[in-house]
């Protein structure tokens, strides 16, 4: 089990992305750079600053992953998706579809080219839902 969010969880997430056949297939044409998923600060859970997981995804695989602190640290990623802890918990638990969540405003794309994200809607969904395969220990 890996604490969410943490460096160990981020590395396990990257491995899960690489094990995801759906992502490998639908993400094959993705050459648009890294995707950062950010957990908003929540001092009640011991998260004093935003925590980011930056996945270096390229042509259907994840070439590396970084766990970073603070919104400034994710600004180099071309795509940045931000949500509160509770929403990521629902996504990781498979209870919340990431695309529907964006439509409802539960996940916010703070940076990125939406037409590209939509063109790759299947791979975007597969990328995020790869997290459901990570054995996760939540803070609450």
99 binds another protein (CB under 8 A): yes
Q: With binding defined as CB under 8 A, does residue 63 bind another protein?
A: no
Sorted by sequence, the CB contacts under 8 Å of residue 112 that are 6+ apart come out as: 78, 79, 80, 81
- The least distance separating another protein from the CB of residue 43, rounded to whole angstroms, comes to 24
| Nearer Cβ to another protein (65/82) | 82
Interaction of residue 28 with another protein, rule CB under 8 A = no
Residue with tokens 């160990």: 8
Report yes or no: 22 and 132 within 8 Å, Cβ to Cβ: no
Q: Which two tokens stand for residue 50?
A: 């935003």
Q: Does 115 bind another protein (CB under 8 A)?
A: yes
- Asked if 121 interacts with another protein (CB under 8 A), we say yes
**Under a CB-based contact definition with an 8 Å cutoff, are residues 131 and 92 in contact?**
yes
Which residues are at the interface with another protein (CB under 8 A)?
A: 99-106, 108-109, 113-116, 118-119, 121
């Amino acid at each position: 089990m890996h604490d969410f969010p943490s460096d160990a969880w981020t590395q396990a997430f990257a491995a899960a992305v690489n094990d995801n056949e759906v992502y490998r297939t639908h993400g094959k044409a993705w050459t648009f750079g890294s995707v950062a998923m950010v957990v908003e600060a929540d001092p009640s859970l011991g998260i004093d600053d935003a925590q980011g997981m930056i996945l270096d995804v390229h042509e259907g695989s994840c070439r590396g992953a970084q766990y970073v602190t603070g919104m400034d640290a994710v600004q180099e990623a071309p795509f940045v998706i931000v949500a509160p802890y509770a929403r990521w918990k629902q996504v990781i638990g498979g209870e919340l579809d990431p695309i529907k969540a964006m439509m409802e405003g539960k996940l916010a794309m703070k940076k990125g080219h939406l037409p590209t994200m939509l063109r790759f809607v299947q791979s975007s969904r597969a990328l995020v839902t790869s997290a459901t395969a990570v054995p996760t220990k939540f803070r609450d």
